[in-house]
Chains A and B, each alone.
Chain A
Amino acid sequence: MNPRRILAIAMKNLRGLKHDRRTVGFLVFMPLLLITIFGYTFGGDVENLDVEIVSFDDAPEGTSIASAITSDLATRDTMSIVRVTSPSEATDGTVQAALDKVRDADLLALIVFEQGFTEDAYEALFALRNGTLVMPGSFRVYIDGTNPNIVSAMMNDLQTSIQKVLVSPSFAIVLPIVATPELVYGEGAEFIDFFAPGVMGLAAMMVTFMLSIISFVHERGQSTLDRLLASPATEGEIVSGYVLAFGLVGLIQSLVILITAILLFGIEIQGSAVLALSMIFVFGIGMQGLGFVLSALARNEFQAVQFMPIVLFPSILLSGVFWPLEAVPDVLRPASYFLPLTYAVEGLRSVMIRGWGVGDVWLQLVVLLVFAAVMMLLSTYGLKKRR
């Protein structure tokens, strides 16, 4: 291994990029765009859901649980209450009209409080104390279930209001059981904190794989690879030079993402940023190796591009980037454990959110190092093999 030759090959790759402004722009803005778009889309809470409320609850104003819930809902942003129909105006017609709006997707949900709602609630409470059972006070929510996220956000918000209203001084109904979450990690963490490590891993994967497979297809196609192989540069030096250059590019990208996430979304890194970035570098080396190996199977750029979705999609879906591994169906879970991105993302999250150190993420580190080593060896061997 001659450092001068490794450096020469690394420089050649970086210079090539330098002359290609558009690619440089792509390399910087792609991750920026990725984190910004995903950060805002996934990171924001579900808000401003159009809802109509029809109340038949005839309890006097001030004692009506229905109107207390209604006013409490209005204090938060999840629902935007388009219209409230009070008991004096509510008819079956109003319900039908609102329901039609839900069916036409002009409205996301309709909440209907039945007549005697407050009364039923109190009766149920007393009945419970006397050891008898009656129907509890209930209300109906007609909801457009097209998007399960919206359904759960709305139901959560309703539950919050119910609990708040019941314990408030005017009703003073204390619930017998309260679950109190004590966050072991991730105090103040939002979705973006969970999401940023995933995007960093994903972006590093995309760029290192893409750069390596395309460059190597070029090297082969334009016979410059023949020239390199006929020179004193060894196969190992060629692979190392590449890995150094594009690994650096992957690293810079991750840094762009990290800085954007910190500045724009205020994420906090609990652990060592150096450790996090090192993991990305090692992971990027492995992905490049995969690119080198697969480049031998692609005769031109077009064929190289065909490998991208094949390599990227399983990782995007199964590596826990957007949703946790626990959400991956059991049949597919074993596949998750074969994807290096799974370990990169898990390791990054542990470092960035849990603040873990090398000793805690050793498993992820070892897997990534083995992946990188195997891929480097395979690509070196692939170059060494002479027909």
Chain B
Amino acid sequence: MSERTRGRTGRTVGENEDRSVPVLVRKLRKEFDGLIAVDDLEMMISPGLLYGLIGPNGSGKTTAIKMFVGLLRPSGGEAYVLGEKVPGRENVQRVGYMPQETAVYPDLTIHENMELFAELYSVSREDFERREKLLLDVIDLKARKDSLVSQLSGGMKHRTSLACTLIHDPELLFLDEPTVGVDPELRVGFWEYFGNLKARGKTVVLTTHYMDEAVRCDVVGMMRAGRLIAEGAPKDLMARANASDLESAFMFFSRGDNA
């Protein structure tokens, strides 16, 4: 328990720094030259959840995630990821991040891309070979393993990007629009895999603007203009809004936010 009560610097640590809490956010803000992208965000994500951050384009989902993974510095408030205040370096090994843009190297093959990230995360040779096989199955690109990424379709590139994120088997995943551009059949497979990750105790935080697939999340956070306007299990949210789908529920909470 000493780790919970005393930090590395010796000062007493509070509940914020509980290393088992994936995400804890307090009054988090981000401004870009006067434009408020994330506005007093408050949220707490519990371990082992499939958490969906949903909201229209420009609502601040990507900005929030970039702060969580340490790529942007908050303008105000604070966020703790696995007990460490962002931006921090202590937990990088435990976290996986899939950027919204298809972030893979076009001049490398799928295999080489995955190998690079395995190396950066110090994955052992055996683990790499095992996971690569598994992930190639998930993204359905086994046959194209040695193709240059530049020769793949947009959806295939995006799938490669997901595989690179998962190669070191992180316990906390931030996936920014992982299913965009992926065809419906494979998207089902993706969601199955997300469920699979959850069953193995991983926490998955993903963003999407497909409301229909957000129903599959345990908890959904609805974002609008940088704020969290509602949070809860999809069923509860729909019930509170007296709506039959998340889309209408979102409209309901948007109106409430305006008032």
Contact = CB atoms under 8 A, between A and B. Distances in A.
Interface stretch (A12-20, A133-141, A204-212): A12-20
Nearest to B98: A227
Interface stretch (A228-236, A261-269, A314-322, A357-365): A228-236
B253 interface: no
B251 interface: no
The listed residue with most B CB atoms (<10 A of its CB), out of A226, A231, A387, is: A231
Interface in B93-140: 93, 95, 97, 99-109, 112, 116-117, 119-122
Given A4-B119, A4-B122, A222-B106, A12 B112 contact: yes
A38 B106 CA distance: 36
B142 interface: no
Given A15-B108, A386-B73, A226 B103 contact: yes
Interface in A119-137: none
Interface string A1-32: 01011011101100111011000000000000
A224 interface: yes
Interface string B214-238: 0000000000000000000000000
Nearest to B117: A231
Contacts of A234: 89
B112 A8 contact: no
A223 interface: yes
A233 B120 contact: yes
Contacts of B164: 227
Interface string B6-25: 00000000000000000000
Interface residues of A, number: 27
B45 interface: no
B66 interface: yes
B71 interface: yes
Contacts of A230: 69-71, 92, 95, 97
B116 A16 contact: no
Interface residues of B, number: 33
Contacts of B148: 19
B107 A232 contact: no
Contact of A229 (B71, B102, B116): B71
A16 B73 CA distance: 31
Interface in B138-194: 148, 164
B102 to A, nearest CB: 7
A5 B119 contact: yes
B72 interface: yes
Contacts of A9: 116, 120
Contacts of B87: 386
Contacts of B107: 15-17, 19-20
B87 to A, nearest CB: 6
A5 B109 CA distance: 19
25 contacts: A5-B122, A8-B116, A8-B120, A9-B116, A9-B120, A11-B116, A12-B112, A12-B116, A16-B108, A17-B107, A223-B102, A224-B104, A226-B71, A227-B99, A227-B103, A227-B117, A230-B69, A230-B92, A234-B89, A386-B70, A386-B72, A386-B73, A386-B87, A387-B32, A387-B72
Interface of B: 32, 66, 69-73, 87, 89, 92-93, 95, 97, 99-109, 112, 116-117, 119-122, 148, 164
Interface of A: 2, 4-5, 7-9, 11-12, 15-17, 19-20, 222-224, 226-234, 386-387
Given A222-B105, A223-B100, A227-B164, 9 more contacts: A2-B122, A11-B116, A19-B107, A222-B101, A222-B106, A229-B70, A232-B93, A386-B87, A387-B32
